[in-house]
Amino acid sequence: MSAAVFSRVLVANRGEIAIRVFRTLRRMGIESVAVYSEAEADALHVKAADRAVCIGPAPVAESYLRIDRVLEAARESGAEAIHPGYGLLAESAEFAEACEQAGLVFIGPKPSATRAMGSKISARAVMTEAGVPVVPGSLEPVRDLEHGLTLAWDIGYPVAVKASGAGGGKGFRVANSPEELGRAIEEARGESERFFGDGTVYLERYLHDPRHVEVQVLADTHGNVIHLFERDCSVQRRHQKLIEESPAPQVSPELRERIGRIAVDAARAVGYRSAGTVEGLLVGADYYFLEMNTRIQVEHGVTEMVTGVDIVEQQLLVAAGLPLAVPVDEIRLSGHAIECRINAENASKRFLPAPGEITEYAEPAGPHVRIDSGVEKGTRVLPYYDPLMAKLVVWGENRERATANMLAALED
C-alpha cells in the first residue's frame, strides 16, 4: 500500500499527535520525520521518529510556526508530504499553499476549503447558502457598538459575541443585556487580536445548556463524502474540551442519521477532502452548525475505537489521490468509547498550566485501553506549549461499561 502512497512523511507537529501519526506511518511502511525546537531535542516524539530535524528556538513563533523552517526540514530530510496534526499550522491555508508551491503534498484539505471554514462568518454564510442549519445570528461582522446593538436587538438577548477567526474558546463572551454588550465586544475583540491577530467579531444567539455534538467526516477526490458518526464534547472548562465520547448519549438513531446528513452536506458545500469535523450544538431535537475544523481532531481516537477506522490512514490515502478505503455499507458503531485529556495543570491554581519535570509516569493497561501520549518519565513539560500530555481512551460494550473502564484506568 505504501508504494502507492508515500515513502517518507514529515509531521509538522510535536507531542502526542506527532507520535500518533508516526504509529500509522510505521504500520503502512512509510518513514517518519519529526521536527523539534531546541528545547525539545530529547522529547519523546523525536525519539519515536525515523529522522528528526531541529527547526529553531523554543517559542512556537520561532520554530513550529515558521513555515520556511518546516519546509526546509522537509527538503533536508527528503520528505514527500507533510502531515500537520492539529493546532499550530494545521489550519493555515498559507502553509498548505506553501507546501504545494514547494512540490510537497499537504495531507489535509485544499486551501480554499480551509479559508472558507477559517472564518466563522464566512462559514456561516456558506452553510446558510447550502441549506445547512446554523445558530441564529448575524452573517456580518460587528462594526461598532451601535451596529452591535442593532444586530443584538434583532437576534434577542442573551447574545454570544464570537471572534470570527479564533478557536479553542478564545474570543468568546456573553452579553445578557444591552448594558453588557459593549464590554463583551471589547473583550472578545481584544482576546482574539492577542491570540490570532484578528479582532473581527460577530453575534449569535446564546443557547442555554446545549450539547456540543460534532460529526467526523471523511472525503476524497473521487466524490466520496462519508461520516463516521458523532462525538459528544460537552464536558469543557473555559470552552476547552476535557472529556469526549462516542456515540453521543442523547442522540437517537433517527437524529444520528439527520446530523450525519447535515455534516456530509456541509463538507460537500466547500468541496472538502481529507478528514474534518463538523461541530454543532444540539438543543433538544434541533441541531445547528457551529463550525468546521479542517484537520484531525484531538478526540479522533474515540471515533476510531467505535468504528475500527484509522482516520490518519484515510488522510494519507486521500492526499495520495486514492479513494477512501472505507466501505460505506460496512461502517458500524460498535460499543461506546470515552476519552479523557490528561493535562499538566495545577488544580489548586484554577487549573493553570504547570510546567516541570515528570518524575514518575505510569500508564494504565488492559483490554480496551488506549493511550496516546507524548511524554515519559523524565520528560520536561515546557511553558511554551499546550499542557496536554496524553489522552486516555477506553472502550466498553455500552456507556456504563465504558464509564467503569475509564474510572478503573484513571485509578491505575
Domains annotated on the chain, with CATH: 2-107 (3.40.50.20), 136-205 (3.30.1490.20), 211-411 (3.30.470.20)
Task: Give per-residue pLDDT as tens, 337-387.
Answer: 999 999 999 999 989 889 999 999 999 999 999 999 999 999 999 999 989
Work out the burial of residue 14: count CB atoms within 10 Å of its CB; fewer than 13 is exposed, 13-18 middle, 19 or more buried: buried
- 371 and 364 Cβ atoms separated by less than 8 Å: yes
Q: Is residue 10's pLDDT more than 90?
A: yes
Select the more confidently predicted residue: 94 or 198.
94
Q: Give 388's strand partners.
A: 343
Cell 459593549: give the residue. 182
Closest CA to 273 of 310, 219, 231, 315: 219
Q: Is residue 39's pLDDT more than 60?
A: yes
- 270 and 302 Cβ atoms separated by less than 8 Å: no
Work out the burial of residue 194: count CB atoms within 10 Å of its CB; fewer than 13 is exposed, 13-18 middle, 19 or more buried: exposed
Rounded (5°) CA angle 339-344-346 = 115
Which positions are annotated as active-site residues?
A: 295
What mean pLDDT do residues 234-259 have?
A: 93
Question: Phi and psi of 384, rounded to 5°?
Answer: -80, -15
What mean pLDDT do residues 216-223 have?
A: 96
In whole angstroms, give the CA distance from residue 118 to residue 256.
26
In whole angstroms, give the CA distance from residue 159 to residue 181.
8
Cell 448594558: give the residue. 179
3-state secondary structure 125-194: HHHHHCCCCECCECCCCCCCHHHHHHHHHHHCCCEEEEECCCCCCCCEEEECCHHHHHHHHHHHHHHHHH
pLDDT band at 42 (very low <50, low <70, confident <90, very high): very high
Q: Of all residues in the chain, what percent carry a pLDDT higher than 90?
A: 81
